[in-house]
Amino acid sequence: MISIRNVRKSFDEKQVLNGIDLEVPLGETLVILGRSGCGKSVLLKIIAGLLSIDGGEVWVDGTEITKLKRKQMNQIRRKIGMLFQSAALFDSMSVAENIAFMLDQHTDLSQQEMRKVVDEKLKLVDLDGVQELRPAQLSGGMRKRVGLARALAFNPEIILYDEPTTGLDPVTCNEINELIRDLNKKLQVTSVVVTHDMHSAFSVGTLMVMLHEGKKLAYGTPESMINEDNPILQQFILFGAPDQILNIDEPTLRKYIGRSTE
């Protein structure tokens, strides 16, 4: 569904992505791991066609998107829903107007029909009765949910999540994780999730990739990531992961966690 080939991207002199290859097959959820500033958001924005690249190819649903004209790109974008790190709700609009934005811009649906979609999407993210509120009146968790409802409004085939749980309390985090997992099951979408949160990563991911210094450090299923013999990756997983989701009896892990019995 999404295929990234040898993508390079730099800002001014600074190389952010230095030859990244990635595959996200239909229906899978890829989790992108990596330290702050390593280019995770940049990669997500490249997939959404928001940033140009310096080299390589990006295929979305069978189309190479990096050289598309805006009009053709917009056709692809109708299949993409994106939840931004800051939720990026439009301050000047109510929650309902935010969620109905794409419908309002690209369809001839009546106000009533749009209302119906808004209510339905809000139910999907477990919110109700906030339709007329302004984004500024919402809590962080609610904003993320509304952002997600907006991303779902056009029934996307691909959903991109930029740090969906960062800055939320543990309970809300967990709710959002469940939401993402549920959506992927219910809607059969292909997803890419950027996160630092190991709990989130292991609870939603079916595939994982770790970026480090512009390169792909490791890529595979969650199980294979745990078994990967790479100190940077293991530190990343271990410092963030609660013991419960890791198999502490795993020899590789034991080595890095410093609880080796040998």
Q: Are 177 and 200 in contact (CB under 8 A)?
A: yes
Kindly tell me which residue out of 18, 41, 98, 190 binds ligand ADP, with binding defined by CB under 6 A.
Answer: 41
Q: How far is the CB of 150 from Mg ion (least distance, A)?
A: 19
Tell whether residue 143 is a contact of ligand ADP (CB under 6 A): no
DSSP class of residue 18 equals E
- Give which of 203, 213, 209, 160 is closest to 182, Cα–Cα: 203
State whether residue 9 is helix, strand or coil.
strand
- 218 near 230, Cβ under 8 Å? yes
132 by DSSP, 3-state: which? coil
Binder of residue 88, out of Mg ion, ligand ADP, another protein, none (CB less than 5 to 8 A by kind): another protein
Among 3, 85, 172, 174, binds another protein (CB under 8 A): 85
Query: Minimal distance in Å, beta carbon 40 to Mg ion?
Result: 5
- Least distance from C-beta 85 to another protein, angstroms? 7
Which residues are bridge partners to 211 per DSSP? 216
Of the pair 121, 216, the CB lying nearest ligand ADP is at 216
**Contact flag: residue 41 with Mg ion (CB under 5 A):** yes
Closest to 41 in 3D by CA, of 83, 72, 69: 83
Q: Which of 30, 48, 65, 209 binds another protein (CB under 8 A)?
A: 48
Cα three-residue angle 23-82-7, rounded to 5 degrees = 35
Per CB under 8 A, the segment of 1-9, 89-97, 183-191, 202-210 that binds another protein is: 89-97
Q: Percent helix, strand, coil in the chain (nearest 5)?
A: 40, 25, 35
Give whole-number Cα distances, 146 to 105, 137, 155, in Å: 18, 12, 15
Residue 6: helix, strand or coil by DSSP? Answer: strand
**CB-nearer residue toward ligand ADP: 40 or 150:** 40
Binding flag, residue 52, ligand ADP (CB under 6 A):
no
Of 1, 4, 7, 16, the one binding ligand ADP (CB under 6 A) is 16
Identity of the residue, 34 or 49, whose beta carbon is nearer to ligand ADP in the bound complex: 34
Question: Which residues of this protein are in contact with another protein, per CB under 8 A?
Answer: 12-15, 37, 45, 48, 50, 70, 74, 77-78, 80, 82, 84-86, 88-91, 101-102, 105-106, 154, 213
